[in-house]
């Protein structure tokens, strides 16, 4: 996307807009979502010049934009405050895009699932993936089976491992005397211990990844709530 300021200039009209056009696209979309979402109450008196509710809800953005941008957002060079909808804030288009992407996909499930989907979409569009989502993978965190819970430590060994028993060379011995206490006396037992230890490290790493992704999505959900309230009241 061009960073030239002239991306905000319309030569035929001789007018500028305060932000890139895509920022107003997101404003338009969030306004539609705010009207559909029972948690917000749009003050349509603030949007009378937009064509009121019916026009906003039933018109495609590009069609609406051609009819309204000059009166709502256009201004002569160097006079942005003369625009009817002049904003004091400086919204970032990529931040608005991510916020919208998160909001529109909350129905998919928990924050982890949403984060995995957001990463998928960003990569598909060729966009740079946020650091917090780099390791997000739908297959990384799956619900363990009962067998996995008993053998991989997913349940953090809720059953007392000292009471577990294993069979080796037709002899029964307790976990207390083997790899759980790091008292390893043969290659097989030692291998079992280090395999278990490695699995625990992998599981902990996965937990950290999941928490990071969930925190990232949670942050955008909170931003979205503030943004939607502002837009419902007539500003971005």
Beta strands 9-10 and 15-16, pairing class: antiparallel
Is residue 92 a contact partner of residue 32, using CB atoms and an 8 Å limit?
no
Instruction: Report if residue 95 sits inside a domain.
Output: no
Reading the block at residue 158, the tokens are: 């809720």
Instruction: Report if residue 114 sits inside a domain.
Output: no
Instruction: Report if residue 166 sits inside a domain.
Output: yes
Instruction: Report if residue 3 sits inside a domain.
Output: yes
Alpha-carbon 124 to chain mean position: 15
Identify the top-confidence range among 29-43, 118-132, 147-161, 202-216: 29-43
Residue tagged 């019916």 (tokens): 54
The predicted model scores a pTM of 0.74
Between 160 and 36, the more confident residue is 36
User: What residues make up the domain containing 181?
Assistant: 146-204
Q: Are residues 78 and 152 in the same domain?
A: no
CB atoms < 10 A from the CB of 115, how many? Answer: 29
| The total number of structural domains that make up the chain | 2
Q: Are residues 150 and 71 in the same domain?
A: no
Helix ranges (H only) for the chain are 21-36, 52-58, 61-73, 93-104, 111-124, 146-151, 187-232
Q: What is the pLDDT of residue 212?
A: 94
pLDDT in tens, 23-56: 999 999 999 999 999 999 999 999 999 998 999 9
pLDDT in tens, 118-141: 999 999 999 988 889 988 876 664
Question: pLDDT tier at 168 (50, 70, 90 boundaries)?
Answer: very low
Closest CA to 148 of 209, 108, 206: 206
- Rounded CA-CA distance 66/62 in Å is 6
Instruction: Report if residue 220 sits inside a domain.
Output: no
Q: Are residues 2 and 86 in the same domain?
A: yes
Instruction: Report if residue 115 sits inside a domain.
Output: no
Instruction: Report if residue 82 sits inside a domain.
Output: yes
Instruction: Report if residue 70 sits inside a domain.
Output: yes
| Contacting residues for 51 by C-beta, under 8 A, at least 6 apart | 59, 64, 67, 68
């Amino acid at each position: 996307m061009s960073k030239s300021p002239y991306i905000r200039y319309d030569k035929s009209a001789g007018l500028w807009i305060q932000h890139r056009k895509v920022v107003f696209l997101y404003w338009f979309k969030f306004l539609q979502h705010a009207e559909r979402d029972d948690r917000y109450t749009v003050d349509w008196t603030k949007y009378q010049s937009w064509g009121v509710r019916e026009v906003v809800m039933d018109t495609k953005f590009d069609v609406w934009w051609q009819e309204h941008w000059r009166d709502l957002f256009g201004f002569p060079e160097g006079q942005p405050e003369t625009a009817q909808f002049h904003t004091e804030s400086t919204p970032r288009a990529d931040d608005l895009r991510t916020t919208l992407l998160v909001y529109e996909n909350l129905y998919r499930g928990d924050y982890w699932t949403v984060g995995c989907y957001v990463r998928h979409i960003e990569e598909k569009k060729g966009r740079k993936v946020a650091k917090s989502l780099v390791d997000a993978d739908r297959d990384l965190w799956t619900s363990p089976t009962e067998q996995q819970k008993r053998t991989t430590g997913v349940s953090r060994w809720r059953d007392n491992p000292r009471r577990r028993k294993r069979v080796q060379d037709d002899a029964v011995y307790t976990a207390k005397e083997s790899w759980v206490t790091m008292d390893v006396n043969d290659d097989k037992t030692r291998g079992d211990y280090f395999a278990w230890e490695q699995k625990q490290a992998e599981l902990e790493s996965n937990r950290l990844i999941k928490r990071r992704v969930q925190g990232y999505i949670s942050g955008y959900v909170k931003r979205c709530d503030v943004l939607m309230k502002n837009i419902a009241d007539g500003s971005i």
